[in-house]
Structure 1
């Protein structure tokens, strides 16, 4: 098993939820935390524990973003006008690796980060290899010509387990996606319940 597969499965097991809705998640068969005593560790959580768990789940969903980077995103969300929870989700969905994942160019958000890092993605015709790059409404994200025949891409586009959300306009044939607008929290197709309000509470303590 690759390091990337191991990481995402570890997150599922730790959370006790299939956070990406994947058919092969180990949680589908064994919904308990990892370890010898995992089955007996589901006690009542403190408020802090609940908030920490919500933060770990949201951070893990986007490819286990580094804590420093995730906190910076939260701080930016607090400086913006409007609801901080909505702002946080909007900023996370504007990440280039998130948009590449939403467009189904790759099967997982972990693969998306690697795909961007290796220079397979163009934004408005220019190569961008920074996964955290902030995509703006109207930006066109596409798979580089040389990368369009990669098995990873062709398999991901055929995957039936998730759909492309309305805020991403996908041209399957051209392998291009337009990020049409910043979504609201309700529009984001999470496979499990996310609680960004608890994430805000965690960082506001």
Structure 2
């Protein structure tokens, strides 16, 4: 188990939001930051602090992506035509680990990264074990036959904790789906408000 997976709920408490909307989050009972000074009244954030907070929320939500990877995604969003903030969300939602998470094949985005890494996922019939792999519109994502009966998959599919968004079509068994379109910010079912425009401002300083 990686330190990232071990510390996923510390991200919630550090940012002061239930980032994935999970009922198990300790923030539901302790809505203050961790550490001995966590209950002190927080000071007012500067513009830089607000932008940094927005970036940390977005990075944390997608499995606490490291800074090098996240900046690379941002640079690609800038390179593409259109609104950079919307492009950023589209690129993040097109990551294979994000699509697997949206399909409800696993309970968390951290589990999704591990699931892909271990070679349980096929894209258009071919095994892909790179979580950051960019899924294209029309791609078919499915669980490998030998992995379909794994307990984590069966329990996650039956879970009523999340709904599958409209931009992904999943078959009746829940183990195979098609990426229909790149979503806009308003279509992504974030449990908390995401502000990619502030992330753009952060990197544009």
How far, CA to CA, are the matches of 2:51 and 2:187 in structure 1? 22
In structure 1, what is the equivalent of residue 31 of structure 2?
Answer: 31
Deviation of residue 174 (structure 1)? 5.7
Moved over 2 A (4+): 1-6
Q: 1:57-76 counterparts in 2 under 5 A?
A: 57-76=57-76
In structure 2, what is the equivalent of residue 194 of structure 1?
Answer: 194
Give ranges in structure 1 of 5+ residues lacking alignment: none
Deviation of residue 42 (structure 1)? 1.5
How far, CA to CA, are the matches of 2:5 and 2:123 in structure 1? 27
Tell me, yes or no, if structure 1 residue 104 matches structure 2 residue 101: no
C-alpha offsets along residues 44-101 of structure 1, whole Å, 9 cap, x if unaligned? 0000011001001100000011100100100110111110000000000000000000
In 2 relative to 1, CA 144–34 (structure 1 residues): closer, same or farther, beyond 3 Å?
same
Give ranges in structure 2 of 5+ residues lacking alignment: none
How far, CA to CA, are the matches of 2:26 and 2:2 in structure 1? 15
In structure 2, what is the equivalent of residue 118 of structure 1?
Answer: 118
In 2 relative to 1, CA 130–2 (structure 1 residues): closer, same or farther, beyond 3 Å?
closer
- So what's the TM-score if we normalise by structure 2? 0.97
In structure 2, what is the equivalent of residue 51 of structure 1?
Answer: 51
How far, CA to CA, are the matches of 1:175 and 1:72 in structure 2? 30
Deviation of residue 3 (structure 1)? 4.3
Deviation of residue 43 (structure 1)? 1.3
- So what's the TM-score if we normalise by structure 1? 0.97
3-state SS of 1:40 partner: coil
In structure 1, what is the equivalent of residue 127 of structure 2?
Answer: 127
**Contact map agreement 1:33 1:41 (CA 8 A) in 2:** no
**Contact map agreement 1:121 1:128 (CA 8 A) in 2:** yes
Deviation of residue 6 (structure 1)? 2.7
**Contact map agreement 2:142 2:176 (CA 8 A) in 1:** yes
**Contact map agreement 1:96 1:133 (CA 8 A) in 2:** yes
How far, CA to CA, are the matches of 1:174 and 1:190 in structure 2? 21
How far, CA to CA, are the matches of 1:3 and 1:67 in structure 2? 16
